[in-house]
Amino acid sequence: MTDEKRKNEAPESKTGSGEETAAKGLSRRDFLIGAGVGAAGLIVGGGLYYRNNMPDSAVEGVFSRAVNGGRNGKYFEEDALHVITTGTGAPLPDPNRVGPQAVVVAGDQMLVFDTGPGSTRQLALTGLSISSVNALFLTHFHSDHISDLGEFMLQHWTGTGVEEPLQIYGPPGVEEVVDGFLTAYQLDRGYRIDHHGPDTMPPSGFGGVAHTFDLGTDLMSSEVVYEAGDVQVIAFNVDHPPVVPAVGFRVNYKDRSVIITGDTIYSDSLIHHAMGADLMVSDSLNHKMSQMIAEAGESMDNNLSSVAEDIQESHIKPEEAAVVAREAGVPVLMITHVLPPVPDFLKRPFLREAKAIYDGHLQMANDGTLISLPVNSYEYAIHELLQ
């Protein structure tokens, strides 16, 4: 843990904390495909070809590696609760962050939380196979959390030609949202079956099936909404005015657990739901910076100023997220849903107040940050999958 405290930034890879306990290595390669990560290689390889007249044999090697190899497989071999923040942005455009999404890989399960704009492509670039996703969970129905749902269902189907549709869990409203995306993608469904044939694109695998859970309005409410093997997903209510319902999720795997807050303001119930977790992935809005944007945009002929002011009532401050993590005894806090968008050199000012009151590991997550929590230990390891 000392490493992170010294550097105060997110280096390529790091580990931390607790007693050394060797975790049993299990193969997680089933989740992985090379194509996504390979695509990044293609871009680099393509540029070199034109600059250096690369021979065909070398170009062939680039394609072969792109299709067959993934560099991130090694991180998933350990038996751990793995959490990847595949989208760390929010509604405002951010050149470095796509819309919100987190992915959990644990045991034989791959679970996805929210489908923010651009997150499907970002997830594919990590090398994880979208066709391997067992279930998708939606926190609420703001567009920045659902707008990639159509694309996500499509990639889940077409990646390996699955025969079962995607299982999608959410609070009341999830059926309406899923139905809308299914309608929008009906024509494309037909094109793809016609083009590739039903053996490659089994019609039964298209789309998704909505599963509704209803927690009522009590912020203390929670419920187990999904269980498979050693993985348990608990939904809990959060306070995200004016949106009702809005939920967060806790995922338990063996002796490790993560809290994904979704969008929320501070409430004491968050501490209750986060109690004893190993990791909290928290929504965040720096109110001071948002206010600066509101004031800077006052003279502009658009809604930026009023929106920047309104959203302050709907999101937790970094220092409030730090209070929740501290009071709930959570040793690692990853800030996501970064509002307002900030360039790298403003990351420290963004988190300054939070760092002053929280002794655990605190950083702004990046698109592609992997946090691994090995079972039977207090350790954590952090790697960047997309940098």
Which chain residues interact with Zn ion by CB under 5 A?
142, 144, 263
Least distance to Zn ion from the beta carbon of 293, Å? 16
The smaller minimum CB distance to Zn ion, of residues 131 and 269, is found at: 269
Pick the closer one to Zn ion by CB: 249 or 380: 249
Between 4 and 283, CB nearer to Zn ion: 283
Those residues whose C-beta lies under 8 Å from the C-beta of residue 35, and which sit 6 or more positions away, are: 66, 67, 124
Of 387, 374, 276, 281, give the one whose Cα is nearest residue 336: 281
User: Please, which residue, 144 or 367, has the CB nearer to Zn ion?
Assistant: 144
Measured from the CB atom, the residue of 144 and 278 that comes closer to Zn ion is 144
> Distance between CA 59 and CA 36 in Å, rounded?
17
354 close to 322: Cβ distance less than 8 angstroms: yes
Instruction: Give the C-alpha separation, 55 to 65, whole Å.
Output: 16
Q: Which has the closest alpha carbon to 139: 235, 210, 66, 34?
A: 235
Report the alpha-carbon distance of residue 78 to residue 96 in Å, rounded.
Answer: 29
**CB-nearer residue toward Zn ion: 225 or 265:** 265
CB of 112 to Zn ion, least distance (A): 16
Name which of 117 and 159 has its Cβ closer to Zn ion.
117
Query: 144 or 319, CB closer to Zn ion?
Result: 144
Residue 261 near residue 320, CB atoms below 8 Å: no
Where are the extended beta strands (E) located within the chain?
13-16, 80-87, 101-106, 109-113, 135-137, 166-170, 208-212, 222-228, 231-237, 247-253, 256-260, 279-285, 332-339, 361-364, 369-374, 380-384
Task: Please state whether 242 falls in left (phi above 0), alpha (psi between -120 and 50) or beta.
Answer: alpha
Alpha-carbon radius of gyration of the chain: 21
CB atoms within 10 A of CB 203: 13
The rounded Cα 174 to chain-centroid distance in angstroms is 19
